[in-house]
Structure 1
Amino acid sequence: MAEEATTAVSNMTISDELEWPMNRVRDTFIKFFEKNGHTFWPSSPCVPHDDPTLLFANAGMNQYKPLFLGTCDPNLEMANLKRAVNSQKCIRAGGKHNDLDDVGKDVYHHTFFEMLGNWSFGDYFKEGAIDLAWRCLTEEYNLDTSRLYATYFGGDDNTPADLEARDIWLKYLPAERVLPFDAKDNFWEMGATGPCGPCTEIHYDRIGGRDAAALVNADLPDVIEIWNNVFIQFNREADGSLRPLPAQHVDTGMGFERLTSILQGKDSNYDTDIFMPIFKVIQDLTGARPYAGKIGKEDEGYVDMAYRVVADHIRTLSFAIADGAVPSSDGRGYVLRRVLRRAVRYGRQNLGAELGFFSKLVPVLVELMSGIFPELKTQQAHITAVIKDEEESFSRTLDKGLQKFKDLASKVGDDKVFSGEDAHFLYTSMGFPVDLTELMAEEIDMTVDIEGFEKKMQEEKDLSAAAHQAKMSGGSGKDMRLVAEQTAALVSMGVPATNDDAKYVWNEELTGCAASALFIGRGETEDGVGFTDSISAESGAVGIVLDKTSFYGEAGGQIYDTGSIVSESGATLTVENVQIYGQYILHLGTVTEGTFNKGDAVKSCVDYVRRAPIAANHTMTHVLNYALKDVLITNGTGDSTQTVDQKGSLVDETKLRFDFSWGSGLTNEQAAAVENIVSGVINDSVPVDAFVAPLDNAKKISSLRAVFGEVYPDPVRVVAVAPTPISEILKNAEDSTWNQYSVEFCGGTHLSNTKDAKAFVLLQEEGIAKGIRRITGVTSDDAVAAIKAGEEFEAKVAEAGNLKGLELEDAIKKLTVELNSLTISAVIKAKCRDTLATYGKTVVAWKKEAAAAKTKAVTDEVLAAAASTEGEKVVLRVDVGADSKAAKAIQQAVGKKIKDKSFFLVSADEAADRYIAMAFCHKSNKAVDCKKWVIAATEGTGGKGGGKPDSAQFTISGVSSIDSVIEKAKSF
């Protein structure tokens, strides 16, 4: 079916018949701004791995935030940008900007969309931005000027109206079509804090020939916003105040999908060649009626809504997965899980789709979009696999969840409020995100009480924010960050950029440094900026900016250095944290002696003992990255469509942690092979070379491993774990010889030779999300200790193999407990667990054999007693513990040989202080009712059990009553 769908797309001529096919719409915008001095700057990934404040890239300006904040690394190519243009991949499905709940209900909301954008970084401002927008729309796209309306920020109690933008617009439009609005519509903010400013929007009236001013910003499909010019002038502080940015910038966003619908003469974004091919495949896969574009009550069965939801959501999932995210249980991964489950639910329930339909939509999207976004093609197999796996997982509980929702909804009272407790049950037990429950409730005119959910989410956010702030402030509660306000102040004070070249020097104090700036925290000085002329112990948490430093600032997954800064007068700062803010490096800590004054001559003293294991862990993380590719891809037998790409890392003095893409857990053989390669590189004493090279040249190295989505400076620092220096490698960069070595871009601190790492141990390999694995390991003395502990434990396990019976069983229990707490190689752990499991099978076999022998002995004893008993009753105490199965076996063995007698047997487990009492006879023997017999004999003991006239068994606590039970049994 998927192949048929793809063929259908290939054969379509919809775009060929249009004057403005979607690709022409996009190309026209980009070429117009290139003609006007803008540099084409490719879209950043929609997953901002380097920006923890964002779930997804939700606007075109996200990747330029360092330029707006004044924190851009001056070595990056971006630092030289003055004007830029692109089409940015955006997702608005979580956080402040979230359109997820609206998708499907109307014909113009999307969770994934393209934002056509042009930017000015301290270059042109309002006059230039408005002129460019007007010329692009009216001259390039030939839009009817009588249908255009402009809005501007009308001001509020805290911020004056943007009359400058209004007056510029009056040059192009009559006053009745230049409209003021409040901050909700015309003051743009990226988040709770960060760059912001007034904006001017351009709205288009699809109908025309009328005065539509009253319909602007009325959330109607006929009068829609198509262009937004944000004039970035301020930074929103944590306290809500606005502070001017160092320079004024322009951020433009134009909705690609909306503009395309206008140019193609459609009333809906979904009626364009962006979506119609996807609808065709959805219909082919599900057999649903054709898409009709209906909304609300006219959309019977919510079929058209389902089309829109499914088509929109396959775009969001595919682009997010291609850019490195995966559905999971928290953060952006949880948002993707919600998106996927929403789509699957609509597809299954409203379109009648079968399990697995959603992943079959990936080919049509790749066909449509990979021309401008080639990552869809290269990641197609991975995207399909992740969606298929997640879809199947949810589908297993979907039907049960839908039925459970109906059951719970039927019990809702007259207030028609679906309880938060029930919504939580659906979330935890059925995997239903709360917004999916809200949708289902809305369809039957109910609401959901989500206060409990929101409260819990807020509590988690508060805890996370508090932990981060505590880390940054040393627990002082101060805000010790340098943002635009602080970096601008440093520039205006003439503070030079921090030179940190000495961070690669080892075991030397860096003298001749100057305390360029002293910082006591944002809001801690009269002007609020936070810089002061002197600091002492009374200042609490403080920071020092040096003109040069030997400290490594936290970056690239490597933790910061610690140590001290000492002035010539003896003043000492204990450095507890080092952070990088653009061109400045801030050393955070507390003054433990004396007073620092601005401009003091100081020396930079790194704790190199602490840095040594950090460097070892970092170097061997590079080798681990190489080893994984070698084992799983180069010499592997796994899925050839998979890739091993770095998804994150953490390197500190205690461990290394490496996240990578792979669809399944490593086998013990694969883990052992990886561990052996890394250990072998250490044992071979391989040199570690670092070299700064032109970016284009370095990219040509055949074995180069770079992090997806990472932006690298030019020139770039290259680190190679290889016997050949990088300068020689670059002379013949594409030579396949280098494929046997680890080569990466990296600005971290490393060893000079792998022998200094001493040893490597892979402690754990685990999955952390769909298609993402994590390895944790140690090097140096920690690895040596882990190896020794592993060898000692293996010896214990081997020695235990000489034991038998109960001694072996006891040893297995003790060794298992010890193994769970040991810090040893995951490979050794797995081997030991396998060995202990084998021992366990031996114990089970021994127990079965012993039980069989005991059962036979007791059976013989019962038969002998029966032969020596003259009456029909045989009452006897036997020794099979309180083992009901053994007792049953005895009954069966005796019953086969003796039919004219009835038996009452008692057997105790002294250690457990309990016993069993059982009676049995042949079915043909009507002389006794065995159940009544046992009941009568155990009366008053509190025993519990049951049975039939020919067989009954009770269990009694307290062995002290055995003798009386036996006497009662004899006299029954």
Structure 2
Amino acid sequence: MSTADYKTMTTAEIREDFLRFFEEKGCKLYPSSSLVPDDPSLLLTNAGMNQFKEYYQGKKTMPEIGACSCQKCLRTNDIDNIGDATHLSFFEMLGNFSFGGYSKADAIAWAYEFITAPEHLGLPAERLYMTVFEDDDEAIELWHEQGVPYDHISRLGEKDNFWAAGPTGPCGPCSEIYFDQGEEFGCGGPNCGPGCDDCDRFLEFWNLVFTQYDRQEDGSLPELPHRNIDTGMGLERIAAIMQHKSTNYDGDLLQGLIGVGGRLSGKTYGEDAARDRSLRIVADHARAVTFMISDGILPSNEGRGYVLRRLLRRAVYHGRLMGIEGAFLCAYVEKICELMGETYPAVVENRALVEGIVRAEEERFGATLDAGEQSLASELEGLGEGATLSGEVAFKLHDTYGFPIDLTREICEGRGVTVDMDAFDACMTEQRERARASANRDAWGTFNDVWTALSDRLAATEFVGYDKNEAAARVLAIVADGEEVERAERGAEVEVVLDVTPFYAEMGGQVGDTGTISCDGATLRVRDTKVRGGLYAHAATVEEGALAVGAEVTAAIDAGRRELIRRNHTATHLLDAALKKVLGEHVSQAGSLVAPDRLRFDFTHFEALTADELARVEGMVNAEIFAGEPIVTRVMGIEEAKASGAVALFGEKYGDVVRVVSTGESEEPFSRELCGGTHARNTADLGLFKIVSEGSVGSNARRIEAVTSMGAIEYVDERLLTLDEVARELKCRPDAVAERVASLEQELRETRKALEAVTTGAGAGKVADAFKGAVELDGYKVVIARLDGLTGKDMRSAWDGIRDAAGGEPVACVIASATPDGKVALLAGGTDGAVAKGFSAGSIIKDIAALVGGRGGGKPAMAQAGGSDASGIDAALDAARAALGI
């Protein structure tokens, strides 16, 4: 079968053609959503339908007949397989979707048209095969109506061709489209066909899911209110097909990245299987890492950050295997910006940040690899050739140091040692099972809970707290212990949903409001406010009476507390702007806490701030406060906001309409950010800004804690009080404390120097006396003496004095000392000449250490020991004399 019987298209051409095709059919084009999903039950965006989950659930409606997108996705559940012909961690998923807008027949007809029409993919119809769910006669006939022969349509079971959100909920049959790569890729088996596990002849590249049922607890499958369409076509897979290649890694985009590895390593792709795998892994992982960081994910030891760090370190390791020395991943970042920056401009916008984090992580992992190698070397010391390294030890190296098992095996093989891979695999399996239990990787995540049900039924809460501290509202729902209830009595801990609220719910770092909910029959103390499924949940205690669903209430926030929060929130904006001006544009907010008493601001930066930098940042913020600039808030479209220069938070997702908060009315204010939080009315409201601390919160992030307003006054008062107390203790004025401390430090240094002189001086005298009593042995002199009052460090100085006194002649010593606290130190030393004549410091110390209640040893030229029994010193020295024949 010829590979030239259809045209060639680039990845970019396929992406553009697919999206334009479905737009012309009436589908709305949606940009790719972030790799950080809105759904908290998902770790990472792993399917094109993630951003449309609420449409499937009926929470949102779409005026268009459907949607289409090219979604960036990331999956790592098969990380050990990445680098083979098919598996990728990062990939792009082309998809078209319908939520009751167009039919199953339309989806099939359009798919067939796009695949076969000469103006689109133009694939030969005879090389296309379809699979359908075994009971889906409708799909078979719909494909046949398009001209697909019955012998090109196969029925497969539920495992292959039926999709479900979970044990219950939305589900439906699938239909997969396969491309026949030719007999040369086949296994030759009599049953070889689409879905064959023994060969790669039939390559699946597009899956159409017809979500039409709502599976019940009893297993029944009633129809959903409307049928949905969810399709997914891997862009890398179809690009390989359209470029007449056989694997995902042979397409133009990934080959461009593989070429970077070839250039850096000096190796040629296609000459060595193991090296080719490393080239593929680094290309894949570098792309994943670039997009993850660009979407706001930072390296850490848990969650998404752990996935990022693992991919990055795996890329670095495989770079080493290829012989690439030093940091190299930034070369990949540059190429990714070149190849994909036009489609995904965020990678270009965040390039400086991506490169900074990648470079820092590479350097850190280099040190980690070195530490792992040292630990492994220590483990191998006691193992001879033919021994086996424990699988548990190999796993510890992998889990603790990030030390790859391949490298462990390679080093072990060089020593003739094998690794217990069965035990290692068992540890890995146990770890994977723990990971599966803690992270739901299904594209739908959690489908049914009380808040999902409430958000399906209730309209989103109307927030009026920008302008009001109090509002009339109606109780829409009460939740207690995860269950919806109609009434809550005195003492109950509940979460209350209102139709209208002045309470700000915790988000964007700003803490939730507190206050009261009251009516004639009840008073509730609200201790926190959070968003759950689009609804504002007021966590409260019923203090008086009873509250029922439907009650008309007054919701009132703690206005004084909110005012302090407003000021601290505005301070974070000023701080962000100041940091960018002082440190550079790579600074991005990586987290925050805005509380009434303090603020915490995490930001991307790669080293500690100097005292001068902190002073400049603090000075800039206070200058804006003293300028008394009004805080201006405007609501506008997201594109208009970005065009105005408004700063979007790193990794944050925004809707089509946003609030833009600026300091002042000028065209270029000190700060302008997209923000949905509450703010001060004027910068002067903040009063004063003081940085309390600055430190590291991760490998590439710093944290500043600060206070404003009343918190700043309390902080300054506390510091002044401490200064006064110190001044009293030092018996000086507060303004003379620094001078007094410097004077005391000088006195301390002089005292220590005098003490050292007393110790070493007396010791020096004792050494001179001891050397006078040196005994002449066969070719060298030996000094045996007790020199009390010396530490172990001082004993080495005493030995240096004995050598100096010998004037270059062969000499040895055995000396002992007892300090006032009862600790004993023994030292034996010998020059090269004394050792050549038979003196062995290690043997002597080993023999006599027990006499002072200790143990020790060393080499022939130097040995030391410590002990706790000073009464045995004389006996120990006598034993040394006897050993030397004195």
TM-score range, shorter chain: 0.7 to 0.9
Indicate how the Cα distance of structure 1 residues 123 and 71 shifts in structure 2: closer, same or farther if over 3 A, else same: same
Indicate how the Cα distance of structure 1 residues 575 and 947 shifts in structure 2: closer, same or farther if over 3 A, else same: closer
Q: Which amino acid aligns with 2:489?
A: S
Indicate how the Cα distance of structure 1 residues 302 and 590 shifts in structure 2: closer, same or farther if over 3 A, else same: same
CA distance in 2, matches of 1:441, 1:909: 47
The answer as to 2:752 corresponding to 1:847 is yes
Alignment counterpart, residue 144 of structure 1, candidates 110, 124, 134: 124
Aligned to 2:822: 913
Q: Which amino acid aligns with 2:70?
A: S
How far off is 1:628 after superposition? 0.9
Q: Which amino acid aligns with 1:558?
A: Q
Alignment counterpart, residue 67 of structure 1, candidates 52, 55, 58: 55
Q: Is the 8 A contact 1:480 1:520 kept in 2?
A: no
Deviations 1:651-670 (A, max 9, x none): 23454232322232322221
Q: Which moved more, 1:767-776 or 1:189-198?
A: 189-198
Q: Which amino acid aligns with 1:482?
A: W
How far off is 1:260 after superposition? 1.6
CA distance in 2, matches of 1:128, 1:835: 86
Q: Which amino acid aligns with 2:122?
A: N
Aligned to 1:171: 145
Q: Is the 8 A contact 2:98 2:228 kept in 1?
A: yes
Aligned to 2:461: 498
CA distance in 1, matches of 2:359, 2:487: 61
Q: Is the 8 A contact 1:418 1:447 kept in 2?
A: no
Corresponding residue SS for 2:501? coil
Listed as ranges, the matches of 1:542-581 within 5 Å are: 542-568=494-520, 570-581=521-532
Q: Which amino acid aligns with 1:743?
A: R
Q: Which amino acid aligns with 2:156?
A: F
Q: Is the 8 A contact 1:438 1:447 kept in 2?
A: no
Listed as ranges, the matches of 1:532-681 within 5 Å are: 533-537=486-490, 541-568=493-520, 570-581=521-532, 584-633=535-584, 643-681=586-624
CA distance in 2, matches of 1:776, 1:585: 29
Deviations 1:701-730 (A, max 9, x none): 34x2212453434543222233x3xxxx5x
Q: Which amino acid aligns with 2:753?
A: K
CA distance in 2, matches of 1:883, 1:433: 41
Aligned to 1:510: 471
Deviations 1:141-181 (A, max 9, x none): 22222332333344xxxxxx656545544433344444343
Listed as ranges, the matches of 1:279-298 within 5 Å are: 279-291=258-270
How far off is 1:213 after superposition? 7.9
The answer as to 2:675 corresponding to 1:712 is no
Aligned to 1:348: 320
- TM (normalized to structure 1)? 0.72
Aligned to 1:185: 160
Q: Is the 8 A contact 1:855 1:880 kept in 2?
A: no
Alignment counterpart, residue 102 of structure 1, candidates 77, 81, 88: 81
Aligned to 1:488: 456
How far off is 1:419 after superposition? 5.3
Q: Is the 8 A contact 2:767 2:798 kept in 1?
A: no
CA distance in 2, matches of 1:445, 1:959: 49
Indicate how the Cα distance of structure 1 residues 782 and 86 shifts in structure 2: closer, same or farther if over 3 A, else same: same
Corresponding residue SS for 1:585? strand
CA distance in 1, matches of 2:432, 2:242: 42
Indicate how the Cα distance of structure 1 residues 212 and 772 shifts in structure 2: closer, same or farther if over 3 A, else same: farther
Deviations 1:640-691 (A, max 9, x none): xx51222333323454232322232322221232233334444554433333
Listed as ranges, the matches of 1:381-420 within 5 Å are: 381-396=352-367, 398=369, 420=391
Indicate how the Cα distance of structure 1 residues 141 and 849 shifts in structure 2: closer, same or farther if over 3 A, else same: same
Corresponding residue SS for 1:320? helix
CA distance in 2, matches of 1:907, 1:757: 64
Q: Is the 8 A contact 2:487 2:548 kept in 1?
A: yes
Over aligned residues, Cα RMSD in angstroms? Answer: 5.4
Q: Which amino acid aligns with 1:851?
A: E
Aligned to 1:699: 642
Indicate how the Cα distance of structure 1 residues 456 and 943 shifts in structure 2: closer, same or farther if over 3 A, else same: closer
The answer as to 2:794 corresponding to 1:885 is yes
The answer as to 2:195 corresponding to 1:217 is yes
Deviations 1:60-88 (A, max 9, x none): 2222334334556xxxxx97665332322
The answer as to 2:123 corresponding to 1:134 is no
Q: Is the 8 A contact 2:388 2:420 kept in 1?
A: no
The answer as to 2:95 corresponding to 1:117 is yes
Q: Percent identity?
A: 36
Q: Is the 8 A contact 1:614 1:651 kept in 2?
A: yes
Indicate how the Cα distance of structure 1 residues 879 and 388 shifts in structure 2: closer, same or farther if over 3 A, else same: closer
Alignment counterpart, residue 422 of structure 1, candidates 393, 403, 423: 393
Indicate how the Cα distance of structure 1 residues 63 and 663 shifts in structure 2: closer, same or farther if over 3 A, else same: farther
Aligned to 1:265: 244
Aligned to 2:20: 31
Q: Is the 8 A contact 1:266 1:272 kept in 2?
A: yes
CA distance in 2, matches of 1:251, 1:387: 36
Indicate how the Cα distance of structure 1 residues 945 and 766 shifts in structure 2: closer, same or farther if over 3 A, else same: closer
CA distance in 1, matches of 2:691, 2:168: 41
Unaligned segments of structure 2, at least 5 residues:
1-5, 441-445, 773-781
Q: Which amino acid aligns with 1:720?
A: S
Indicate how the Cα distance of structure 1 residues 854 and 481 shifts in structure 2: closer, same or farther if over 3 A, else same: same
Indicate how the Cα distance of structure 1 residues 197 and 453 shifts in structure 2: closer, same or farther if over 3 A, else same: same
The answer as to 2:371 corresponding to 1:371 is no
Alignment counterpart, residue 201 of structure 1, candidates 143, 167, 176: 176
CA distance in 2, matches of 1:947, 1:433: 36
CA distance in 2, matches of 1:458, 1:189: 22
Q: Is the 8 A contact 1:111 1:316 kept in 2?
A: yes
Alignment counterpart, residue 694 of structure 2, candidates 760, 765, 769: 765
Q: Is the 8 A contact 2:7 2:242 kept in 1?
A: no
How far off is 1:223 after superposition? 0.9
CA distance in 1, matches of 2:599, 2:220: 40
How far off is 1:426 after superposition? 1.3
Indicate how the Cα distance of structure 1 residues 862 and 708 shifts in structure 2: closer, same or farther if over 3 A, else same: closer
Q: Which amino acid aligns with 2:115?
A: L
Q: Is the 8 A contact 1:204 1:224 kept in 2?
A: yes
Indicate how the Cα distance of structure 1 residues 681 and 194 shifts in structure 2: closer, same or farther if over 3 A, else same: farther
Q: Which amino acid aligns with 1:774?
A: R
- TM (normalized to structure 2)? 0.79
Q: Is the 8 A contact 1:121 1:249 kept in 2?
A: yes
CA distance in 2, matches of 1:70, 1:848: 80
CA distance in 2, matches of 1:257, 1:447: 35
How far off is 1:618 after superposition? 1.6
CA distance in 2, matches of 1:708, 1:919: 63
Q: Which amino acid aligns with 1:566?
A: S
Indicate how the Cα distance of structure 1 residues 279 and 754 shifts in structure 2: closer, same or farther if over 3 A, else same: closer
How far off is 1:32 after superposition? 0.8
Alignment counterpart, residue 775 of structure 1, candidates 694, 700, 704: 704
How far off is 1:37 after superposition? 1.4
Q: Which moved more, 1:263-272 or 1:841-850?
A: 841-850
Listed as ranges, the matches of 1:10-21 within 5 Å are: 19-21=8-10
Q: Which amino acid aligns with 2:287?
A: R
